[in-house]
Amino acid sequence: MTTDSTSERTRAERYNPGDIESKWRARWEQDDLYRVADHVEGRPNRYHLTMFPYTSGDLHVGHWWAMAPSDTLARYFRMRGFNVLFPMGFDAFGLPAENAALKGGIHPKDWTDANVVRMRGQLRSMGASFDWGREVVSSHADYYRWTQWWFVQMFKRGLAYKKAAPANWCPSCNTTLANEQVKDGLCERCDTPVEQRFMAQWFFRTTDYAEELLDNEALDWPEHVKVMQRNWIGRSEGAEASFALEQPASDGTSEIRVFTTRPDTLHGVTFMVLAPEHPLVPLLTTPEQAEAVAAYQDRAAHATEIERLATDREKSGVFTGAYCINRLTGDRVPIWIADYVLATYGTGAVMAVPAHDERDFAFARRYGMPVKVVIAPPDWDGKPLTEAWTEPGTLVASKQFDGLPSTEAKKAIAAYLEQQGWGGTKVQYRLRDWLISRQRYWGAPIPIVACPDCGEVAVPEDQLPVELPYDVEFRPTGQSPLALSPEFVATTCPQCGKPAQRETDTMDTFMCSSWYFMRYVDPHNTTAPMSREAAAAWLPVAQYTGGSEHATMHLLYARFFYKVARDLGLVPGDEPFTRYYAQGQILGPDGRRMSKSRGNVVAPDDQVQKWGSDCFRGYLMFLGPWDQGGPYDVDGIVGVSRWLNRTWTVAVDPPTR
Ligand SMILES: [Zn+2]
Ligand SMILES: [Zn+2]
Model pLDDT for residues 531-557, shown as the tens digit of each residue: 999 999 999 999 999 998 889 999 999
SS3 602: coil
Q: Looking at the predicted structure, is the pLDDT value of residue 6 above 70?
A: no
The DSSP 8-state label assigned to residue 114 in this structure reads H
Q: Out of 3.20.20.70, 3.90.180.10, 3.30.565.10, 3.90.740.10, which CATH number does the structure's domain 235-429 have?
A: 3.90.740.10
Percentage of the chain exceeding pLDDT 70? 97
Mean pLDDT to the nearest integer, 319-334: 97
Q: What is the pLDDT of residues 202-256, one digit of tens each?
A: 999 999 999 999 999 999 999 999 999 999 999 999 999 999 999 999 899 999 9
Dihedral sign from CA coordinates of 343, 345, 350, 355: negative
Nearest bound ligand to the CA of residue 476: 1
Nearest bound ligand to the CA of residue 187: 1
Q: What is the pLDDT of residues 26-62, one digit of tens each?
A: 999 999 999 999 999 999 999 999 999 999 999 999 9
Q: Out of 3.10.28.10, 3.10.620.30, 3.40.50.620, 2.170.190.11, which CATH number does the structure's domain 3-143+511-651 have?
A: 3.40.50.620
In the reported structure, the alpha carbon of residue 508 is separated from the centroid of ligand 1 by a whole-number distance in angstroms of 13
Question: In this structure, which residues have their CB less than 5 angstroms from ion ligand 1?
Answer: 170, 172-173, 187, 189-190, 192
- Residue 639 vs residues 90, 590, 642, 651: alpha-carbon distances, Å: 34, 19, 5, 18
In the reported structure, the alpha carbon of residue 369 is separated from the centroid of ligand 1 by a whole-number distance in angstroms of 40
Which has more confidence, 629 or 136? 136
The ipTM value here is: 0.91
Nearest bound ligand to the CA of residue 456: 2
Nearest bound ligand to the CA of residue 497: 2
In the reported structure, the alpha carbon of residue 439 is separated from the centroid of ligand 2 by a whole-number distance in angstroms of 25
For residue 657, what pLDDT is reported? Answer: 58
Nearest bound ligand to the CA of residue 453: 2
In the reported structure, the alpha carbon of residue 139 is separated from the centroid of ligand 1 by a whole-number distance in angstroms of 21
First vs last C-alpha separation in the chain: 15
Q: Where are the alpha helices (DSSP H) in 421-550?
A: 486-489, 516-519, 532-538
Distance CA 248, CA 595 (A): 59
Nearest bound ligand to the CA of residue 189: 1
In the reported structure, the alpha carbon of residue 452 is separated from the centroid of ligand 2 by a whole-number distance in angstroms of 7
Segments of the chain assigned to CATH 3.40.50.620: 3-143+511-651
Segments of the chain assigned to CATH 3.90.740.10: 235-429
Nearest bound ligand to the CA of residue 176: 1
Nearest bound ligand to the CA of residue 183: 1
In the reported structure, the alpha carbon of residue 374 is separated from the centroid of ligand 1 by a whole-number distance in angstroms of 45
For residue 449, what pLDDT is reported? Answer: 98
Q: Give the mean pLDDT of the chain.
A: 92
577-600: buried (b, 16+ CB within 10 Å) or exposed (e) per residue?
bbebbbbbebbbeeeeebeeeeeb
In the reported structure, the alpha carbon of residue 443 is separated from the centroid of ligand 2 by a whole-number distance in angstroms of 26
